Structure 1
Amino acid sequence: MKRYYILLILLTGFACNKQLEEYNPSGLTTDQVFSTPEGFETLVNAVYTYNRWWYGKEEGYSISEMGTDLWTSGTGDKYPDMTQYINLQASNTVVSGLWKQLYAAINLCNTGIGRVDQAGYTDAVRKTRNAELHFMRAFYYWHIVEMWGGVHFTVNETTGVETTANRTPVDTFYALIFRDLDVAINDLPLTTTDYGRATKPVAQAFLARMCLTRGLNERAAVLADSVINNYGYSLQAKYADLWSMSNLQNKEVVWAVNYMKNLVFDDRVDATLYPNGHSRGANNGHLMFIMKYDDLPGMQRDVTNGRPFNRYMPSLFLLNLFNENADSRYAATFKQVWYCNNLKTAPAGMKLGDTAIVVTKYAVTNADTAGKKYRVYDRNMVYAANGGGKDRTHYISLQKFDDPTRASMSEEESARDAFIIRLAEMYLIAAEAQFKLGNNAKAADYINVIRKRAAIPGHEADMQITDADITLDFILDERARELAGEQLRWFDLKRTGKLEERIDKYSPDPAANFQSYHTLRPIPQDQIDAVTNKAEFTQNPGYQ
Structure 2
Amino acid sequence: MKLRYIITLIVLTTFVLGSCVDDLDVVPIDPDEQTSATLYDDPAAYKQVLAKIYGGLALTGQQGPAGQGDIAGIDEGFSSYLRMYWYHQELTTDEAVIGWNDQTIRDFHDQDWGASDIFIRGMYSRIYYQITLINEFLRETTDGKLNDRGVSQTLKAEIQTFRAEARLLRALSYWHALDLYGNVPFITENDEVGAFLPQQTNRNDLFNYIESELLAVENELAEPRQNEYARADKAAAWMLLAKLYLNAEVYTGQAKYTECVTYCNKVIGAGYALHNDFQGVFLADNHNSSEIIFPIAFDGENTQSWGGITFIIHAAVGGNMSPADFGIDGGWGGIRTTSAFVNKFADPSGNTDSRAMFFTDGQSLEIADISLFTDGYAITKFKNLTAAGVQGSNATFPDTDFPLFRLADAYLMYAEAVIRGGSGGDAATALGYINALRERAYGNTDGNINAGELNLDFILDERSRELYWEGHRRTDLIRFGQFSESTYVWPWKGGVAEGRSTSSNFNLFPIPSADIAANPNLTQNTGY
TM exceeding 0.5:
yes
* One of 110, 114, 127 as aligned partner of 1:102: 127
Q: Is the 8 A contact 2:358 2:380 kept in 1?
A: yes
What is the SS of the residue equivalent to 2:320?
Answer: coil
Partner of 2:435: 448
> Hey, what's the Cα distance between the residues in 1 that align with 2:334 and 2:103?
7
* One of 527, 533, 543 as aligned partner of 2:515: 527
Partner of 2:198: 165
CA RMSD of aligned residues (A): 3.3
* One of 52, 63, 70 as aligned partner of 2:95: 70
Q: Is the 8 A contact 2:342 2:348 kept in 1?
A: no
Post-superposition CA distance 1:260-280 (Å, at most 9, x none): 231xx3254xxxxxxxxx5x5
What is the SS of the residue equivalent to 1:479?
Answer: helix
Post-superposition CA distance 1:206-264 (Å, at most 9, x none): 211112121321121121122112x22100112122223234431011010111231xx
Amino acid at match of 2:5: L
Q: TM-score, structure 2 length as denominator? A: 0.79
Post-superposition CA distance 1:168-201 (Å, at most 9, x none): 1111111111111112211101144521111111
* One of 334, 349, 357 as aligned partner of 1:311: 334
Q: Is the 8 A contact 1:315 1:507 kept in 2?
A: yes
* One of 522, 525, 528 as aligned partner of 1:540: 525
Partner of 1:324: 347
Quickly say closer, same or farther: Cα 1:81–1:396, change in 2 above 3 A.
closer
> Hey, what's the Cα distance between the residues in 1 that align with 2:477 and 2:27?
47
Post-superposition CA distance 1:408-461 (Å, at most 9, x none): 87x3x322111100110010010011111175444322211211211144xx1x
- Alignment of 1:517 with 2:510, yes or no, is no
Partner of 2:380: 399
Amino acid at match of 1:256: P
Query: Where in structure 2 are the equivalents of 1:157-196 lying within 5 Å?
Result: 160-190=193-223, 191-196=225-230
Shift of 1:153: 0.7
Shift of 1:496: 3.3
> Hey, what's the Cα distance between the residues in 2 that align with 1:159 and 1:201?
32
Partner of 2:470: 486
Partner of 2:411: 427
Shift of 1:135: 0.7
Q: Is the 8 A contact 1:234 1:252 kept in 2?
A: yes
* One of 317, 320, 339 as aligned partner of 1:293: 320
Which stretch of structure 1 is more off in the superposition, 74-83 or 246-255? 74-83
Query: Tell me, which stretches of 5 or more residues in structure 2 are unaligned?
Result: 12-17, 61-78, 249-254, 386-390
Shift of 1:77: 6.5
* One of 53, 63, 88 as aligned partner of 1:47: 53
Query: Where in structure 2 are the equivalents of 1:44-443 lying within 5 Å?
Result: 44-52=50-58, 57-74=82-99, 79-85=104-110, 87-116=112-141, 117=143, 118-119=145-146, 120=151, 122=153, 123-156=156-189, 160-190=193-223, 191-214=225-248, 215-229=255-269, 231-262=270-301, 265-268=302-305, 283-293=310-320, 302=324, 304=326, 307-324=330-347, 331-336=354-359, 358-359=361-362, 377-379=363-365, 382-383=366-367, 392-404=373-385, 405=391, 411=396, 413-437=397-421, 439-443=426-430
What is the SS of the residue equivalent to 1:83?
Answer: helix
Q: Is the 8 A contact 1:257 1:417 kept in 2?
A: yes
Q: Is the 8 A contact 1:443 1:467 kept in 2?
A: no
Quickly say closer, same or farther: Cα 1:64–1:493, change in 2 above 3 A.
same
Q: Is the 8 A contact 2:97 2:337 kept in 1?
A: yes
Quickly say closer, same or farther: Cα 1:8–1:293, change in 2 above 3 A.
farther
> Hey, what's the Cα distance between the residues in 1 that align with 2:206 and 2:161?
23
Work out which of the two has the higher radius of gyration on C-alpha atoms and give 1 or 2. Answer: 1
> Hey, what's the Cα distance between the residues in 1 that align with 2:312 and 2:449?
32
> Hey, what's the Cα distance between the residues in 2 that align with 1:501 and 1:521?
15
Shift of 1:48: 1.2
Which stretch of structure 1 is more off in the superposition, 135-144 or 164-173? 164-173
What is the SS of the residue equivalent to 1:47?
Answer: helix
